Structure 1
Amino acid sequence: MIDRRLRVLRAIERHGTVTAAAEVCRMTPSAASHQMQALARELGVVLLEQEGRGVRLTSAARTLLAHGEALTAQWERAVADLATHGAGDVGGTLRFCGFSTAAAAVVPQALDRLRREHPALRLHLRETEPSRSFDLLAAGDADIAVVVATPNIPPVSDAAFDQQTLYDEPLDLLVGAGHPVVGRPDVALSEMAADPWICSSPGRAYHQLVTLACTSAGFAPDVAHYADEWDTGAALVARGFGVALVPRLADLPARHDTRRIPIGAPPVPIRRVIAAVRAGSQEQPTIAAGLAAVRQVCGALSTTLAAPTS
């Protein structure tokens, strides 16, 4: 009932180019461009202006998006109200997306709760990077995102989404068994400025977290190796090729001889895990049940978050 071309315009705003927006909307750049041209003609306004290699939205386009977000949120609330006319059972399909250890530590347990409490509910999980999770929410391809807050996700003020903090997770230093700091109760991150580092590939959420943590501690990490899987990173750390930061909830392979050491001196690096849904959708029975299950699981994590295991 809401013009689907508004989703394309929204994607252009987020990603800065028609090509990138077309990719997340699963269409060709030509089709996306034609849709924007047709929408502009129908409304009698200019929506996009060339800016370098990308495009920028005009003031008319931003006005249109503001109305589109309000309409979309109202539609989500309408769906929630219509659910009260149903049978009362929570059923249908609930689609989660999540990132790395946030998905592993929280969502499967939430799915297990939902399966027991609402057996008619069909459940799906897709593991994705945080920014991609918001694309899936906006496209209606996911209902709840459980992700790490990073600089490239929409701000909390973004009217298209409702975001809530689930928990703050400390990042611990991971070193090999023979590292000089082994045996200490904690370390300052700044002490690791001269060490080589193991980090994920540039552009990934974990790379952003490590870079920001080290910068806050007063140094730029000397990244010696890139590893996107905990197994690979832990193997490199265990053999003395560098140090790493690992989320406290990360389940590392036991076969690698590593040690976790808490960061004791400020600034203590953390990552914030959030749940996000489309604005207005949180009262829909399936989504409300999913959010409740996620919050229950997160409430039980306090003991695990309090202290690392070696």
Structure 2
Amino acid sequence: MSGWVEETLHEDLHVKLKIDRVLFDSQTEHQHLVIFENETFGRAMALDGVMQTTEKDEFIYHEMLTHLPIYAHGSVRKVLIIGGGDGGMLEEALKHPSIEKVTMVEIDRSVVDLCTTYLPSISNGAFDDPRADLVIADGRDFVANCEDRYDLVIIDSTDPIGPGAVLFTESFYRDCRCCLTEGGILVTQNGVPFVQAEELTSSVSFFRALFKDATCYLATIPTYVGGPMAFGWATDNAELRMTALAELRARFDAEPVESRYYTPEVHQGAFALPPYVSELIR
């Protein structure tokens, strides 16, 4: 392999990360997976040439897709994660003692095994937690046939190419809605809107056809260049997005978690969208 991983996800924007040392490079059953070391970002993983996660900044992405909806809801007990093979989302969700069960559905067992081996700091032992239920299956099929109900569904998917494409369709989101308890929340990874506008626009339009409250919130993650990343938000309880700062602080103080990005103040501010993003989801 050359001395750089070049991501060509966007037609007009290519990004390179220097490879200091390759730890793994091979084709899994579903995709090409590379794990390597980079001085600035630590150990990093790319799937089919697209950067997925790095040790140094994964906490931002994982904290904002778990803690924000958990504290907004106020009484999450069961969580469903679709994707998330690195285990970071699982680890953050299980930081909450009040959560009784987290079911994680990952299509590629190799991603779980290799991340546990080469990126153990991301999952930090979460797969050994008795509340964790790992299911190796296609997430689309799982939600289509799901009989359990969850207070929170997190879609920790790759971009809408390859195995992740079906996780951005209206039919998939409809099945996710059926997996939710009354007033439950669906949150999704929706890319960087400055360079992936259609991804966000289409997802939120689907949400609005299915849920009473649908929008997105933002966080800036260095690995995903082009501006802040958008996370889709959908629920039938519109009051949850408007949870007051004092209430968020009270919930955080009652069940604090170790975080390096999430705070109640960041939570509230994440829903303040700049006009160029608001225009994409009108």
Between Structure 1 and Structure 2, the one with more strand by share is: 2
TM-score, normalising length: structure 2 = 0.32
Larger Rg: 1
Instruction: Compare the two structures and name the one with the higher helix fraction.
Output: 1
Scaled by the length of structure 1, the TM-score of the pair is 0.29
Greater relative contact order structure (CA < 8 Å, 6+ sep): 1
